[in-house]
Amino acid sequence: MVRKKSRKQVSERPASAGADEVRVGGGGEDTGEAVGADDGVKGLLALYEDPETILHAARKAREAGFTRWDVFTPFPVHGMDEAMGLGRSRIPWVTLVAGLCGTATALFIQFGTMVYSWPANYGGKPVGGWPAFVPITFEMTVLLAGVTTALAALWLGGVLRWKKPKLDPDLTCHRFGIYVDATDPKYDVGKAREWLESTGAIEVRPVKEGA
Amino acid sequence: MAYPDDSALRGLPREAPGEGVLGGPLFEREPLVTGGKNYAQVTQDVVRWSERYPTRKWWMAMGIAGAVFTLYLIGMFGTTVYGTGLLGINHPVGWGSYIINFVFWIGIGHAGTLISAILFLFRQKWRTGINRTAEAMTIFAVMVAGTFPLLHTGRPWFAYWLTPLPNGRGPIWPNFNSPLAWDVFAVSTYLTISLVFWYLGLLPDLASVRDRARHPWRKALYNALALGWNGSNRAWRHYESAYLMLAGLSTPLVFSVHTIVSFDFATAGLPGWHATIFPPYFVIGAIFSGFAMVVTLMVIMRKVYGLESYITLNHLEAMNKIIMFTGMVVGFAYSTEFFMAWYGGNAYEGFIFKNRAFGPYWWAYWIMFSCNAFIPQLFWFKKFRRSIPVMFFVVICVNIGMYFERYVIVVTTLHRDFLPGSWGMYSFSPFDWMVLIGSFGMFFTFFLLFTRVFPVVAISEVKGILPASQGRVPAAKAEVSHG
């Protein structure tokens, strides 16, 4: 499953020429294949049985130069981000910024109401004594940081979009899958299928439009 | 070595002589999941309970919980409509069962966050079997807890005054110097973050349920709940990072919540409350009582739902060790309070503690002390740590003891303060009993509904700790049997 954003990125920055096992099917030399982009096939799904195999397959897929592809696993597989060449998630920065916003909001509310808007004498304590504001400042920091982090992670991961092609129900149970989109510049029906099978897939199947 | 069930587990690493790298013995940890489960079986074992009609046992439990919940609703209705005069509180004990219940329930919640966040940061993989249920317990406990201070105010319809809403009365703002205002922020943040953390963890599992669903209603429900989760690694990448961040945020949060609850007492100038030991003492007590509640629930749930392979005796033993440790810390805190009352040389402080242990509420104090500090000492013996009846007895004692701890703190300090002229006694009215017993009904009603609708074990996390995922067993051997 490829997100719109990455699609745009890809069109701006063409895939670097990788290994040559999979070539762009320019000229239509593989039209003999039963399935092709014209038959409403959106891409190929390769299913694997265990995390080890798919980890190697993903590494090979990246080395082969695929750009519009994704890996589906029932649980996070260690080392998959590196294998896919995804790099580190930027979520911690979101947490930091949202947390600082929470801190600022809490300080603004507390100093604003108790020092500027209506200073009051509570038990002879100094107006604007900051130690009393620490607990709420902390809580607001955590609140904003936590909620924003979760929403950002879901949004960045594309989880907040419901409409997606249904690949295989077993992918959230016991199967591991690699999906290569038909729009991938390296995609070539016959060769991609052959290539995916060579990475240890137990099954490779086309994903049709409207699936 | 096969581990078919609990009977094969010893709670110690298995020694295999001559299998080590250099020919010496190899010590191998026991698996976290017994029964040689594969990925498909994990999903099946956990999800099947929400895919069938409720059992007779479930209906019976739900019937009892629902009936008891009604007591709570009647009690709450009474105190809302007729006022807090229905309760046992009066001069001089103005904080009664509602505050005790609040502290008790919010303390219960702390174990869930400890298991989900702190054990995650410490890479304690055994948390995967129990974290889902423990987090659910946290949420329901905090929900129950949150209603008490609200009703304790007597006019819950003015609760919004606690938030700094712009208003035309001056404007008048809440007093942010007050621990009661801190409490509002602490408890609401705690509930929100716990919910977010729980839901984030649930997402992949809800997607598993969705992908198995046949009935159109089920499909629609879980399709909505699972959002657009499809297991994409591009989603996992951000998800895992966010999970780590949330664990990092929840860890100080869980300490802050009960610290702030303790400030409700500690910032008052009353002997027995005005103590710097209160924040750590409350936090450790909360973890202690929370773990006791987790074990109470797990012992029943693993049996009823047939989850012994995922919540093994080793899990229970690990929790019992934490209970014993935190129990000793709590006992130490009780003793420290006494020592400081003597060593501080303050006559009022000294009197309050003598009065606690030997005054008219001596029975509450000694129930507290023996249940919390003495009885968990049984867990020094491995045999007892791994015996279901013994641990059930101990954790029930701890639940009772921790209730009495809050009873002792709230009541004994208030009932005899500086002037003998303002001394008095406190006892429960029927409404106090109704909301106390009823609050358990509310908790268990939510909990039972949870076990029907959501996966009670974190499926995706358990799959990640199966031997097959660790690269120890050749994958083909551990792989799926289609069935």
DSSP label at A15? Answer: P
pTM reported for the whole predicted model: 0.89
The answer to whether the CB atoms of B39 and A77 lie below 8 A apart is no
CA B199 to chain centre: 17
- The rounded distance, in Å, linking the Cα atoms of B320 and B314 is 10
User: By three-state DSSP, how is residue A44 classified?
Assistant: strand
User: By three-state DSSP, how is residue A46 classified?
Assistant: strand
Helix, strand, coil share (%) of chain B residues, nearest 5: 70, 0, 30
| Among candidates B193, B211, B469 on the partner chain, residue whose Cβ is nearest the Cβ of A142 | B193
Work out the minimum CA distance from B476 to partner chain A, whole angstroms. Answer: 8
For residue B111, give Cα distances in angstroms to A83, B134, B194. Answer: 37, 7, 12
CA-wise closest residue to B112 among B386, B321, B394, B319: B319
The answer to whether the CB atoms of B260 and A135 lie below 8 A apart is yes
Q: Judge contact between B145 and B102, C-beta under 8 A.
A: yes
For residue B466, give Cα distances in angstroms to A60, A113, A170, B125, B301. Answer: 25, 54, 18, 10, 21
Work out the minimum CA distance from B242 to partner chain A, whole angstroms. Answer: 6
The pLDDT of residue A34 is: 43
Identify residue B432 by its one-letter amino acid code: D
- The rounded distance, in Å, linking the Cα atoms of B439 and B242 is 33
Across A78-92, average pLDDT: 90
| Token pair in block for residue B354 | 């003598």
The answer to whether the CB atoms of B175 and A114 lie below 8 A apart is yes
Work out the minimum CA distance from A182 to partner chain B, whole angstroms. Answer: 17
Name the band, by pLDDT with cuts 50, 70 and 90, for residue A11.
very low
Consecutive 10-residue runs of chain B (483 residues): their mean pLDDT?
82 84 85 88 90 91 96 94 92 93 94 89 90 94 94 90 85 89 93 95 93 91 91 92 94 94 92 93 94 94 92 93 95 94 93 94 95 95 95 96 95 91 93 95 96 92 84 44 38
CB contacts, 8 Å: A123 with chain B = 177
Owner of token pair 């003597």: B342
Name the band, by pLDDT with cuts 50, 70 and 90, for residue A211.
low
The pLDDT of residue A39 is: 67
Q: Judge contact between B295 and B303, C-beta under 8 A.
A: no
The pLDDT of residue A19 is: 35
Q: Average pLDDT, whole number, for chain A?
A: 80
Q: Judge contact between B413 and B428, C-beta under 8 A.
A: no
Which ranges of B125-232 would DSSP assign to H, the alpha helix? 127-152, 179-212, 216-225
The answer to whether the CB atoms of A173 and B208 lie below 8 A apart is yes
The pLDDT of residue B235 is: 92
Buried (b) or exposed (e) across B54-69, using 16+ Cβ within 10 A? Answer: eeeebeebbeebeebb
- The rounded distance, in Å, linking the Cα atoms of B245 and A124 is 40
The pLDDT of residue B467 is: 79
The pLDDT of residue B481 is: 39
The answer to whether the CB atoms of B227 and A154 lie below 8 A apart is yes
Residues composing chain A:
211
pLDDT per residue over B177-189, tens digit each?
999 899 999 999 9
| Token pair in block for residue B201 | 């963890």
| Among candidates B177, B229, B260 on the partner chain, residue whose Cβ is nearest the Cβ of A159 | B229
pLDDT per residue over A12-45, tens digit each?
333 333 333 333 333 333 433 444 445 678 888 9
CB contacts, 8 Å: A149 with chain B = 242, 245-246, 249
Residue by residue, what is the 3-state secondary structure of A120-186? CCCCCCCCCCHHHHHHHHHHHHHHHHHHHHHHHHHHHCCCCCCCCCCCCHHHHCCCEEEEEECCCCC
The pLDDT of residue B290 is: 94
CB contacts, 8 Å: A152 with chain B = 238, 242
| Token pair in block for residue A88 | 């580190």
Which ranges of B305-346 would DSSP assign to H, the alpha helix? 313-343
The answer to whether the CB atoms of B164 and A113 lie below 8 A apart is yes
Neighbours of A209 (CB within 10 A): 10
CB contacts, 8 Å: A76 with chain B = 233, 236, 239-240, 460, 464
Q: Judge contact between B192 and A147, C-beta under 8 A.
A: yes
| Among candidates A84, A153, A163 on the partner chain, residue whose Cβ is nearest the Cβ of B239 | A153
CA-wise closest residue to A1 among A181, A130, A176, A209: A181
DSSP label at A205? Answer: E
The pLDDT of residue A127 is: 87
CA-CA-CA-CA torsion for B8, B13, B19, B21, nearest 10 degrees? 150
CA-wise closest residue to B326 among B279, B295, B292: B292
Q: Which residues pair with A181 in a beta bridge?
A: A43
Q: Does residue B92 have a cis bond before it (omega within 30 degrees)?
A: yes
